[in-house]
Structure 1
Amino acid sequence: MESIKRQRRLLLTGAAALGLAASGLVRAQAAQGIEVWKDPNCGCCQDWISHLEQNGFKARVFDSGNNAARAQLGMPQPLGSCHTALVQGYVIEGHVPAKDIQRLLKEKPQALGLAVPGMPIGSPGMDGPAYGGRRDRYEVLLVLKDGSTRVFQRHA
């Protein structure tokens, strides 16, 4: 009888520990750190950061502009936008949706990062009430280390 109670306690303790470990893993994944360089007066950049934070990223923001960061991180100027970010060694340029960043981090391609050149209306951060629900088509580009690109994701 004592042996059964001991086994039951061990089983319950193990299940509880597994549950705590799993919840910690979820929290760790949900708190993915990302560094963002932006202009201090840019509202759409802040809206994009809010989109990331609502999707499990923890942003560290540098309000110093992004031109120097973009150049230092190797993102080609023609792919530029109003903010540049760095997450797990990948450069993120512009209004890239959080789910595309999450896919990048899961797939881990040999690449510099992702870019949404310009500021397409309907992309995260460019989708507020001021745009009246308008959503333009745009592409998220996978930027290879040599600066070439290919389409990573299309958004209608």
Structure 2
Amino acid sequence: MHSRRTVLIAALNLTGGALIGPAFAQTALPNITIRKDPWCGCCSGWARHLEMAGFTIEIEEIEEMEAVKDTLMVPDALRSCHTATVDDYVIEGHVPAEAIVALLEQRPPITGLAVPGMPMGSPGMEGPPGSSPETFDVVAFGGQSGAVFMRFAGQTRL
């Protein structure tokens, strides 16, 4: 009979040491509500990225996204294609799950996080095989507006 530890080690070996999934998370991650244009495919890719990280998502398809961004006070310079809310924070664009988890752990006095534009290599914007990921910043806004919260090269934190 195998111990739980042996089974876990075997599972880690099969996945190359990667996280096995949300079943091993110490606490459940909160629900994220994503507001997106019904015709946007990269938004669905970002939603899958969040689900794979252990978040529960709810998607609202809205054609008037500028009104959503105005209501949630997303600065014009930081806007992207989709806007989400988690707890009391706003998440704009292709913010990696790792940054959202850090935001929820640290709870800084900000409105939210944004990845302006649609950088290649960000979650949901992986691009075709062989494409080069861009380095991009996750920017805090409201309170500490404009401060770099985290920096990534593709989905790898720098």
- Using the size of structure 2 for normalisation, the TM-score is 0.76
- Quick one: distance in 2 between partners of 1:117 and 1:37? 16
C-alpha deviations, 1:42-80, integer Å up to 9, x for none? 110000000001111111111114222111111112110
Q: CA shift at 1:27, angstroms? A: 7.9
**Contact 1:121 / 1:131 at 8 angstroms: preserved in 2?**
no
Runs of 4+ displaced beyond 4 Å: none
Residue 58 of structure 1 aligns with which residue?
A: 56
Task: Give the Cα separation in 2 of the matches to 1:155 and 1:38.
Answer: 23
1:25-55: CA deviation from partner (whole Å, max 9, x where unpaired) = x58614x201111111111000000000111
Which residue of 9, 34, 37 maps to 2:35? 37
Q: 1:137 is matched with which residue: 121, 135, 138? A: 135
Question: What stretches of structure 2 of length at least 5 have no aligned partner?
Answer: 1-22, 154-158
Matching residue's letter, 2:88: G
**Which residue in 2 is equivalent to 1:6?**
none
1:152 partnered with 2:146: no
Percent same amino acid at aligned positions? 45
Q: Which entry has the higher C-alpha Rg, 1 or 2? A: 1
SS in 2 for 1:37: strand
Structure 1 or 2: more helix by fraction: 1
Unaligned runs of 5+ in 1: 1-23
Q: How many residues align?
A: 130
Q: Matches of residues 100-139 of structure 1 in structure 2 within 5 Å?
A: 100-128=99-127, 130=128, 132-139=130-137
1:149 counterpart SS class? coil
